Amino acid sequence: MSATAILAAGWTISVNTGDGYVEVKGMRKFTLNPGETTEKDITTFRSAGQGEHIVSKRTKSVAFEAVYLEDESTGGRDPGQAAVEAISGLIGQDAYGQIKMVSPGDNEKEFYGTFALKDIGGGVEDETSWGFEFKRSGADL
């Protein structure tokens, strides 16, 4: 079978809780940003007037948009969302975690980095929004 377009809804997003990966449910959208590339000038006299550079750094981040999930009778939260919230409140080395994104064809993207919660809210007729940004630290896993 040849490669075809896939729906974003087919991806599974999970967070590592230390005891394994737990799916983060309620996802509506994600955007994988390949980030910025830092280039350093390495032009010398021997460059014959032509600029030369070398890539010294690449960044990557993923923005996730979801709906806030809660059991109205118990107050229980989605385990994946609760894990992201717990990690995003930490500082120092404890603030690092791992996410895994799996496509419908089982292609995995796994990253190590930090979490930052996005605004939670909505209007009178809206479901409550929830989301986070994950900023990669180091190379892909």
Report pLDDT for 36. 86
pLDDT means over runs of 10, the chain (141 residues) = 91 97 98 91 95 93 97 96 97 97 96 96 96 95 84
Distance CA 86, CA 74 (A): 19
Report pLDDT for 34. 87
Residues 6+ apart with CB under 8 A from 90: none
Q: Which CATH number fits domain 8-136: 2.30.30, 3.30.160, 4.10.410, 1.10.10?
A: 4.10.410
| Average pLDDT value over all residues in the chain | 95
Closest CA to 137 of 118, 114, 117: 114
Tell me how crowded residue 99 is: count the other CB atoms within 10 A of its CB: 25
Report pLDDT for 60. 93
Tell me how crowded residue 131 is: count the other CB atoms within 10 A of its CB: 23
